[in-house]
């Protein structure tokens, strides 16, 4: 999937009114299913999931504020950010003064509409630009939110790329935000592109598309027996803006996924952040009872760009080339994860005679012959079961792939075997 193709997926998903439950979330999963097949799960309202309970399902058909002349001065169909998420039904006639407490704006960004939700408190409201609010007369206004809040389900989707190992890499994206292109949709598009690219991997890759917080908690509650298979993981969001890559470490701080991203990012502009129990769903996967090795991959982090959670986070804000760069960064990390092994030197007493085994001769004519020879020597010297290939790459300052190629050649020559704990 190219950058323009990822951007097209963002554009197709953008108009859907997503929330933590409801038909907008289902339609989102349907669109993703058109690119990669999903197994969709529905969890009924009232189900206990860890310390949480699945809420009632929210759906919305229409919402508006009409002036005395019948003009929709705030219209859900213009932008689904205009309604506070999970607003209960309302039908009333109100003055501007009566309505004002239900109106949310961004005075510091007067052209933009904010994103607001109220998932767990039954209330209602509208979001609009400060400029629109400043232009409103005293009223009266016809106010209507045609929504339902009723027993239903929470929905999430999974896509699995089966590997040769049952050990898993978890890639998790939140799919609960409405029309916000960078904050969730760009991450979804990059995850879909990665899933399409994977072919015969070592690890099994599990992609989870779920509403934020409650969705990840639900997945964890329903998959406790599976979590001990997760060896590496990432949450994906904010993947399409013009900023440089940001990686946030797992709770462990020194997990292999943390080491891998430090390695693949070292020669390019980037930011690495320490773990904190705030952000995206890494905080659920890294909660102390699970303590999974899950980091977070973004470009500019949440809350750190002016378009965040506003109507300016639209498809024009997301750049195809930025999503391509995020994907290639992720792919580089996957290549290291896939190839990173610990080995045992089977001839550890002195340096084995490589020429006699045809290992030096097999390298003749290569432009990187000296590098390949050094890679063999480094792999032999540090293959004691304590050092992974990534450890050797960091210490030797040689490319990871050169070391992986060397390890493969040495193993074929009977000088190396994979370490088994």
pLDDT in tens, 168-215: 999 999 999 999 999 999 999 999 999 999 999 999 999 999 999 999
Residue spans of alpha helices (H) in 64-105: 96-99
Q: Which residues contact 414 (CB under 8 A, 6 or more apart)?
A: 346, 357
Distance CA 215, CA 284 (A): 10
Taking Cα atoms as reference points, which of 155, 192, 208 lies closest to residue 19? Answer: 155
Fold of 57-150: Glucose Oxidase; domain 1 (3.50.30)
pLDDT in tens, 73-84: 999 999 999 999
Taking Cα atoms as reference points, which of 211, 216, 219 lies closest to residue 174? Answer: 211
Q: Which residues contact 19 (CB under 8 A, 6 or more apart)?
A: 25, 58, 85, 86, 117, 119, 176, 178, 211
Beta strands in 112-166 (DSSP E): 126-127, 141-150, 153-161
In this structure, what token pair is assigned to residue 24? 């907008």
Q: Crossing angle, helix 187-197 and helix 320-339, to 10 degrees?
A: 50
Query: What residues does each domain of the chain span?
Result: 3-55+153-336, 57-150, 340-418
The SS3 call for residue 298 is: strand
- Return the CATH number of the domain spanning residue range 3-55+153-336: 3.40.630.10
CA atoms within 13 A on the CB side of 27: 13
User: Taking a C-beta distance cutoff of 8 angstroms, is the pair 186, 307 a contact?
Assistant: no
pLDDT at 366: 53
Other CB atoms within a 10 A radius of the CB of residue 324 amount to 20
Beta strands in 186-229 (DSSP E): 204-210
pLDDT at 363: 47
Beta strands in 77-210 (DSSP E): 90-94, 103-104, 126-127, 141-150, 153-161, 168-174, 204-210
- Listed as ranges, residues in the chain with pLDDT below 50 are 363-364
Taking Cα atoms as reference points, which of 323, 361, 339, 358 lies closest to residue 407? Answer: 339
CATH class held by domain 340-418: mainly alpha
Q: Cis (ω within 30 of 0) for the bond into 77?
A: no
Distance CA 84, CA 88 (A): 9
Distance CA 25, CA 152 (A): 13
User: Taking a C-beta distance cutoff of 8 angstroms, is the pair 280, 212 a contact?
Assistant: yes
CA atoms within 13 A on the CB side of 264: 24
């Amino acid at each position: 999937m190219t950058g323009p193709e990822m951007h097209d997926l963002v554009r197709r998903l953008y108009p859907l009114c997503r929330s933590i439950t409801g038909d907008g979330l289902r339609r989102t999963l349907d669109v993703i299913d058109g690119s990669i097949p999903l197994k969709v799960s529905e969890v009924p309202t009232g189900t206990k999931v860890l310390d949480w309970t699945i809420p009632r399902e929210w759906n919305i058909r229409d919402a508006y504020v009409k002036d005395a002349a019948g003009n929709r001065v705030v219209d859900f169909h213009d932008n689904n950010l205009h309604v506070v998420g999970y607003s209960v039904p309302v039908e009333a006639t109100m003055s501007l003064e009566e309505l004002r407490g239900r109106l949310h704006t961004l005075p510091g960004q007067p052209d933009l509409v904010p994103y607001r939700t109220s998932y767990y408190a039954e209330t209602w409201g509208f979001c609009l630009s400060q400029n629109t609010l400043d232009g409103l007369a005293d009223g009266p206004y016809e106010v209507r939110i045609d929504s339902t809040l009723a027993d239903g389900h929470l929905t999430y989707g999974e896509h699995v790329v089966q590997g040769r190992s049952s050990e898993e890499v978890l890639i998790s994206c939140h799919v609960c935000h409405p029309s916000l292109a960078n904050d969730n949709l760009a991450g979804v598009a990059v995850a879909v592109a990665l899933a399409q690219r994977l072919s015969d991997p070592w690890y099994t890759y599990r992609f989870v598309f779920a509403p934020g917080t409650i969705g990840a908690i639900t997945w964890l509650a329903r998959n406790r027996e599976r979590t001990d298979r997760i060896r590496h993981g990432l949450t994906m969001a904010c993947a399409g803006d013009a900023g440089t890559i940001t990686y946030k470490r797992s709770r462990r701080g020194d997990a292999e996924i943390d080491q891998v991203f430090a390695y693949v990012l070292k020669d390019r502009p980037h930011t690495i952040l320490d773990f904190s129990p705030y952000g995206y769903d890494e905080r659920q996967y890294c909660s102390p009872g699970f303590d999974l090795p899950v980091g977070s991959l973004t470009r500019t982090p949440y809350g750190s760009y002016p378009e965040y959670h506003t109507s300016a986070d639209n498809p024009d804000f997301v750049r195809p080339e930025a999503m391509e760069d995020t994907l290639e960064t992720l792919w580089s990390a996957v290549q290291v994860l896939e190839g990173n092994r610990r080995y045992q030197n089977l001839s550890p007493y002195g340096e084995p005679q490589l020429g006699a085994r045809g290992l030096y001769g097999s390298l003749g004519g290569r432009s990187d012959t000296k590098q390949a020879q050094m890679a063999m020597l480094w792999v032999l010297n540090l293959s004691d079961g304590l050092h992974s290939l990534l450890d050797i790459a960091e210490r030797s300052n040689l490319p990871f792939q050169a070391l992986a190629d060397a390890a493969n050649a040495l193993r074929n020559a009977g000088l190396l075997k994979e370490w088994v704990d």
